Amino acid sequence: MGMGMGTRKVTITLEDAQLEAVRKLVGSGASRSVSAFIQHAVGIALNDVAGWGALLGQALERTGGPLTKKERNWADGVLKASPVARRRRRAA
């Protein structure tokens, strides 16, 4: 974390197996604490989202510009599908 960057304590919920795995990593010295591991994981996730956003922007630029309202509605419907619907779709 950079100098002058503030932190704030928050509560998160993890599956038991996830927390156990993180604690094992901390115990092995792979991370200095559970908080440090979570901060690192969030940083990676934020960079990943930014990277995908940039990649999407480039792809849209090459293929005709921003999504139309119809395309955006379709994408929103696909991305917001319930977990059960997504599992059914994958199994088909």
Summarised one tens digit per residue, pLDDT across range 29-47 is 999 999 999 999 999 999 8
Question: Which domain does 65 fall in, by range?
Answer: 16-91
DSSP E strands, 16-75: none
Whether 56 is covered by a domain: the verdict is: yes
Enter the tokens of residue 81.
Answer: 């599908």
Whether 70 is covered by a domain: the verdict is: yes
**In terms of C-beta density within 10 A (0-12 exposed, 13-18 middle, 19 or more buried), how is residue 5 classed?**
exposed
Q: Does residue 10 have a pLDDT over 80?
A: yes
Instruction: Decide: pTM greater than 0.85.
Output: no
> Angle at Cα 42 formed by Cα 37 and Cα 46, nearest 5°?
150
Whether 5 is covered by a domain: the verdict is: no
Residue 65, pLDDT score: 85
Residue 53, pLDDT score: 82
Whether 27 is covered by a domain: the verdict is: yes
Instruction: Please compute, for residue 51, the number of CA atoms within 13 A of its CA located in the half-sphere on the CB side.
Output: 6
- Give the mean pLDDT of 6-27: 95
8 A C-beta contact, residue 17 and residue 24: no
Residue 23, pLDDT score: 97
Residue 59, pLDDT score: 87
Q: How many domains does the chain have?
A: 1
Please, which pLDDT band fits residue 54 given cuts at 50, 70 and 90? confident
Residue 67 CA to residue 58 CA, distance in Å, equals 12
Looking at residue 49, its amino acid is V
Whether 9 is covered by a domain: the verdict is: no
Whether 65 is covered by a domain: the verdict is: yes
Residue 92, pLDDT score: 55
Whether 4 is covered by a domain: the verdict is: no
Pairwise pLDDT comparison (56 vs 24), residue with the higher score = 24
Residue 25 CA to residue 34 CA, distance in Å, equals 9
